[in-house]
Amino acid sequence: MNGFFQAHFYLIDFALGISSLAVVTALYFRGRLGRYMWLLFWIGCGLGFTWEFLCNLNIAHGASPVARFIRPLPFHYMVIVVIHSFWDGALFSIGAWLVKKTCAPPHFARFRAGELAVLIAWGQAQELAVELISTTGAAWEWLPYSWNPALFMFNGYHITLLPQLIWLAASVAFYFIALLLKSSLAGDDAHPQ
């Protein structure tokens, strides 16, 4: 099974990224996903694009790459940037859904440490899972440096601190953007044009 997974990792990765976009789009246009969650998905995609682009640009052209592809990509790195941005949007959306399922309403109405804690916990857990899966699929690994220490080895590859820090910062940024967006949409509803 692991041989199949490794042989088809990038195809599976690509298919799931496109499926994330397709599912969220279908839910929105069928009225099963509200405007707020639709916009949060795209905000998550935008946040993800920021680090996906910078990290992949560094991998492709940097003198000290932050990570390496264990085996070559079957397409230009910008494809993985876009696909992983869709993944990131979906992962942020799942985090927002978890806030709605675990925290008392109203959600994202004002700062609440519990909501932020859910997003941070989810961000850290899923990021660690992504790195473990990527090494299982022999896809990529982050490289250890003094500023990106290895946390542990898994499947013979390094699991490092930097991706966890990226998701920590991104989860905090996403939360505060979600609060601003909710306030902005409430203001739009109060003053229809």
Q: What is the pLDDT along the chain (193 residues), one digit of tens a residue?
A: 678 899 999 999 999 999 999 999 999 999 999 999 999 999 999 999 999 999 999 999 999 999 999 999 999 999 999 999 999 999 999 999 999 999 999 999 999 999 999 999 999 999 999 999 999 999 999 999 999 999 999 999 999 999 999 999 999 999 999 999 999 998 655 434 3
CA 186 to each of CA 109, 179, 181, 183, 191: distance values in angstroms, whole numbers, following the listed order: 9, 11, 8, 5, 9
d(CA 61, CA 69): 13
pLDDT at 192: 40
CA 65 to each of CA 55, 56, 111, 152: distance values in angstroms, whole numbers, following the listed order: 8, 9, 37, 19
d(CA 170, CA 186): 24
First vs last C-alpha separation in the chain = 56
pLDDT at 32: 96
pLDDT at 123: 98
User: What's the pTM?
Assistant: 0.93
